[in-house]
Amino acid sequence: MAGKNSTQKSARDMILSLSLILLAAGAVWLFSPHDEGEPDLKRVDYRVDLLTARRAATYPVAAPEGLPEAWKPTSVRFQGEQFDAWHLGYRAPDGEYVAVEQSTQKPAVFIRAGTRGAEKTDKTQQIAGETWTRYEGGRYDALVLEEEGSTTMVTGTASFARLTEMAEALRSESD
């Protein structure tokens, strides 16, 4: 009989211990912050990177001017050793992603990578006197401007209206 009593006591102790652990875990979960919103992305200052890119690139590097404060720059990079690749990423006012991409890389390769495989459409639009071609994809859409020696692309998860807003704001040193 002594063995049965100790087994019952051992099982009871395990259940009590497990209950205390679950209670403590519940209290930690209850009092820890649960931010269900989108992460607060840090605004980046891209002025130095833009000046560097404009000095080094073989084409006029573009960046937006005059966008409302609600447009938040979140990423920037210039890779001179890789086709003078310029990237400037933004979070649009509606929370969608918009990026300005420029490169001297072969347009077909550059566009496919930058749009995550979006397909060229027959649709074009005039922006600042230039003809931009629309690309549509499952993940990203894009507006693309192919020029002699470089390609400029405004791409992302945003609507074409937002992509157009960014493309209209682009200015280069030569503008």
The whole-model pTM stands at 0.77
Report pLDDT digits (tens) over 48-85: 999 999 999 999 999 999 999 999 999 999 999 989 99
Alpha helix locations (H) across 41-159? 47-56, 107-114
Report pLDDT digits (tens) over 92-128: 999 999 999 999 999 999 999 999 999 999 999 999 9
For residues 9 and 5, give the distance between their C-alpha atoms in angstroms, rounded to a whole number. Answer: 6
